[in-house]
Amino acid sequence: MKLNRRSFAICTVAAAAYAPRTYAQTTNDALRPENFGARGDGITNDTNAFAALSAEINRRGGGTILLTAGRTYLVGAQVRNGPLGWNPSPILELRGLRQPLRIFGNGARLRCQPGLRFGTFSLATGRPLNRAMPNYQRHDLASPYRGMIDIAGCRSSIEIRDIELDGNSGALVVGGRYGDSGWQVPATGLLLADNSGPELISNLLSHDHALDGAMIDGDARRIARSRFTRFVALRNGRQGLSLIGGRGYDFDDCEFSRTGRGAISSAPGAGVDIEAEGRKTIRDLTFVRCRFVDNAGAGMLADSGDSDGARFSQCQFIGTTFWSAWPKKPRFAFDGCTFFGAVANAFADRDPMRATRFTGCRFTDDPALLPGSEAYGARGGDPIVNLGQSDNVLFDRCIVDVRSAVLPWSGKAIYRDCRMEQRSHKTAMTKGKFLGSTVINGPVDLYGSMVVGTLVVNGRQIPPGPVGSDVRPW
What pTM value is reported for the model? 0.94
Q: Which amino acid is at 453?
A: G
> Model confidence over 110-130: pLDDT tens digits?
999 999 999 999 999 999 999
Does some domain include residue 56? yes
Per-residue pLDDT, averaged over 191-197, amounts to: 97
Burial of 378 (0-12, 13-18, 19+ CB in 10 A): buried
Res. 9: pLDDT tops 70: no
Does some domain include residue 472? no
- Contact between residue 202 and residue 158 where contact means Cβ atoms under 8 Å apart: no
Res. 11: pLDDT tops 80: no
Does some domain include residue 303? yes
CATH number at residue 88: 2.160.20.10
> Model confidence over 151-172: pLDDT tens digits?
999 999 999 999 999 999 999 9
Instruction: Tell me how far apart the 2 most distant CA atoms of the chain are, in Å.
Output: 82
**Residue 377 C-alpha from the chain's centroid:** 22
Query: In 66-203, which residue ranges form alpha helices assigned H by DSSP?
Result: none
Res. 18: pLDDT tops 60: no
Does some domain include residue 425? yes
Q: pLDDT confidence of 379, banded at 50, 70, 90?
A: confident
Does some domain include residue 471? no
Does some domain include residue 38? yes
Does some domain include residue 30? yes
- Predicted confidence at residue 186, as pLDDT, reads 98
Domain containing residue 130: 5-466
Q: Which amino acid is at 58?
A: N
200 by DSSP, 3-state: which? strand
Q: pLDDT confidence of 27, banded at 50, 70, 90?
A: low
CA-closest candidate to residue 419, choices 447, 438, 395, 403: 438
- Predicted confidence at residue 16, as pLDDT, reads 38
Domain count of the chain?
Answer: 1
Q: How many helices (H) and strands (E) does the chain have?
A: 3, 41
Q: pLDDT confidence of 256, banded at 50, 70, 90?
A: very high
